[in-house]
């Protein structure tokens, strides 16, 4: 039962990163790709009806984590107290900037919110990457299953670690590049004309950066955390996950070159899913490794809730998520199609 929920939580987190990832990516590129107010409106309109729903994946993943692995939720949320609170502030600023940007006309107002939107998106990408780096590297859990990490110590991924060290910063930068590529792929697909050309050019350029960082991150990770390799030796089927990532990454390049925009975006999704599942696969059966000793590791077995609740949860989770996926698909198909600077939507605020 624990393993099932481990997979389901991983699916929800991957769903969140793929979906909110592209609208964060649009935010990262916002100031660089769109020059006029009309173009910036197009960028925001491309995510306007869906960003809020995308963010629900984070809330739903958080809730699912809470009830399936209470000990993990408690340990990680209190241990990552400071960066999580900053993520919350960034999410607030970002949400407000998307919603309120176009409520008031006037140059000063929109320029300000554009900057807030972009900056918050950039920082969020780095923070999420660093968080992933922290989970992979492990944290100083004590015997009661608690820890508290300061924002930084000496920037070394050993001993009394901080949230930021050279390794987690590296992952943060990689995540920034990956989401920028993801956003560029989305915009190449959803926009037209000059804006589309610029998005296409950005995607092609950022692709090289992503490819280089992927190689760098992979080698650094296995050097720093050789236990990860063990999972692949024990369960060779796990190679499918990195294969997925490589296929996705190559796919982005090929489809961009062939101007198959929808497929390029799909490939970018595949790449992200492949990378995340690879990390999750190497982590299992741990959910949060301890740097303080193997017996302090939080594992699927010692962090999960009681079986009765998990079984009941499986029933409503399947029903609820099927409905959620239906709404999501419905919304995306209703708002499908290219977005142009000349479009006007019904009493839209964007």
Partner 1 sequence: MEDALTVHRLHFAFTITFHYIFPQLTMGLALLIFILKTLALRTKNEIWNDSARFWAKIFGISFALGVVTGIPMEFQFGTNWSQFSKSAGGVIGQTLAMEGVFSFFLESSFLGLFLFGEKRLGPRLHWVSSLMMFLGSWLSGYLIVLTDAWMQHPVGYHLATNGSYELKSYWALLLNPWGLWQYAHTMLGAVQTGCFTMAAVGAFYILSKQHDTFGKIFVRVGVTVGIIAALLQLFPTGDGQGKMIAEFQRPTLAAMEGLFQTQAGAPIAILGQPDVPKQRLDNPLTVPRALSFLTYQNWSATVQGLDQFPQSEWPDNIALLYFSYHIMVGLGTIFIAILALAAWQLFRGKLFQSRLLLWALMLALPLPFIANTAGWITAEVGRQPWLIYGMMRTRAGVSPLVSAGSAWFTLLGFLGMYTVLGMLFLFLVYREIEHGPGPDNSSPAHTTVAAAAAD
Q: Which residues ranging from 39 to 68 are in contact with partner 1 (CB under 8 A)?
A: 48-50, 52-53, 55-56, 58-64, 66-68
* Cβ atoms < 10 Å from Cβ of 57: 20
Q: How far apart are CA 263 and CA 255, in angstroms?
A: 6
Q: Is 96 among the residues that bind partner 1 (CB under 8 A)?
A: yes
Q: Does residue 89 bind partner 1 (CB under 8 A)?
A: yes
Cα–Cα distances in Å, from 327 out to 60, 61, 190, 323, 324?
15, 17, 20, 6, 5
Which residue of 136, 179, 313, 339 would you call a contact of partner 1, by CB under 8 A? Answer: 313
Q: Which of 1, 4, 11, 100 binds partner 1 (CB under 8 A)?
A: 100
Residue 295 interacting with partner 1 (CB under 8 A): no
Measured from the CB of residue 334, what is the shortest distance to partner 1 in angstroms?
6
Contacts of partner 1 in 105-164 (CB under 8 A): 105-106, 144-148
Strand, helix or coil for residue 125: helix
Among 2, 79, 162, 289, binds partner 1 (CB under 8 A): 79
Residue partners of 51: CB distance under 8 A and separation at least 6: 20, 23, 95, 98
Which residue in 32, 77, 112, 155 binds partner 1 (CB under 8 A)? 77
The answer to whether the beta carbons of residues 118 and 101 sit under 8 Å apart is: no
Residue labelled with tokens 């992933």: 132
CA distance 96 to 107: 17
> Binding to partner 1 by residue 1, rule CB under 8 A?
no
Of the pair 241, 317, the CB lying nearest partner 1 is at 317
The interface region with partner 1, picked from 83-91, 120-128, 248-256, 279-287 by CB under 8 A, is: 83-91
Residue recorded with tokens 């004309």: 193
Taking the least distance from each CB to partner 1, the nearer of 95 and 228 is 95
CB atoms near residue 170 (< 10 Å): 19
State in angstroms the smallest separation of the CB of 24 from partner 1. 15
Q: Which residues share a beta bridge with 298? A: 288
Confirm or reject binding of residue 24 to partner 1 (CB under 8 A).
no
Q: Which residue has the tokens 């000793």?
A: 293
Region near partner 1 per CB under 8 A, out of 94-102, 205-213, 250-258, 263-271: 94-102
Does residue 297 interact with partner 1 by CB under 8 A? no
Report the distance separating Cα 172 and Cα 176, nearest Å: 6
Residue 101 vs 200, nearer CB to partner 1: 101
Q: Which is nearer to partner 1, 64 or 191 (CB)?
A: 64
> Shortest gap between Cβ of 129 and partner 1 (angstroms)?
19
> Hey, CA dihedral for 232, 233, 235, 240, is it positive or negative?
positive
82 binds partner 1 (CB under 8 A): yes
Q: Cα angle at 167 between 164 and 168, to 5 degrees? A: 45
Enclosing H/E stretch for 286: strand 286-288
Q: Give the binding range for partner 1 (CB under 8 A) out of 157-165, 193-201, 273-281, 328-336.
A: 328-336
* Interaction of residue 331 with partner 1, rule CB under 8 A: yes
């Amino acid at each position: 039962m624990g393993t099932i929920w481990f997979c389901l939580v991983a699916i929800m987190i991957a769903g969140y990163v793929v979906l909110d990832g592209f609208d964060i990516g649009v935010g990262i590129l916002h100031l660089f790709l769109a020059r006029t107010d009309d173009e910036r409106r197009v960028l925001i309109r491309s995510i306007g009806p869906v960003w809020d729903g995308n963010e629900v994946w984070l809330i739903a993943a958080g809730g699912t984590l809470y009830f399936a692995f209470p000990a993990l939720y408690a340990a990680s949320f209190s241990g990552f107290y400071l960066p999580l609170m900053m993520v919350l502030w960034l999410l607030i600023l970002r949400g407000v900037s998307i919603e309120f940007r176009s409520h008031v006309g006037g140059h000063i107002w929109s320029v300000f919110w554009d900057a807030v939107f972009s900056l918050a998106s950039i920082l969020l990408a780095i923070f999420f990457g660093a968080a992933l780096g922290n989970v992979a590297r492990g944290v100083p859990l004590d015997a009661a299953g608690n820890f508290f990490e300061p924002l930084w110590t000496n920037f070394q991924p050993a001993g009394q670690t901080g949230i930021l060290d050279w390794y987690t910063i590296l992952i943060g930068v990689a995540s920034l590049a990956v989401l920028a590529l993801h956003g560029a792929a989305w915009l190449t697909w959803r926009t037209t004309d000059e804006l589309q050309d610029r998005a296409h050019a950005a995607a092609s350029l950022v692709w090289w950066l992503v490819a280089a960082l992927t190689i760098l991150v992979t080698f650094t990770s296995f050097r720093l955390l050789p236990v990860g390799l063990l999972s692949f030796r024990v369960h060779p089927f796990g190679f499918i996950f990195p294969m997925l990532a490589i296929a996705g990454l190559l796919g982005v390049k090929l489809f961009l070159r062939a101007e198959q925009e929808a497929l390029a975006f799909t490939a970018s999704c595949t790449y992200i899913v492949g990378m995340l599942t690879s990390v999750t696969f190497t982590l299992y059966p741990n959910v949060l490794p301890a740097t303080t000793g193997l017996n302090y590791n939080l594992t699927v077995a010692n962090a999960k809730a009681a079986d009765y609740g998990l079984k009941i949860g499986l029933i409503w989770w399947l029903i609820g998520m099927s409905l959620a996926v239906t709404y999501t698909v419905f919304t995306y198909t209703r708002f499908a199609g290219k977005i142009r600077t000349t479009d006007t939507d019904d009493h839209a605020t964007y």
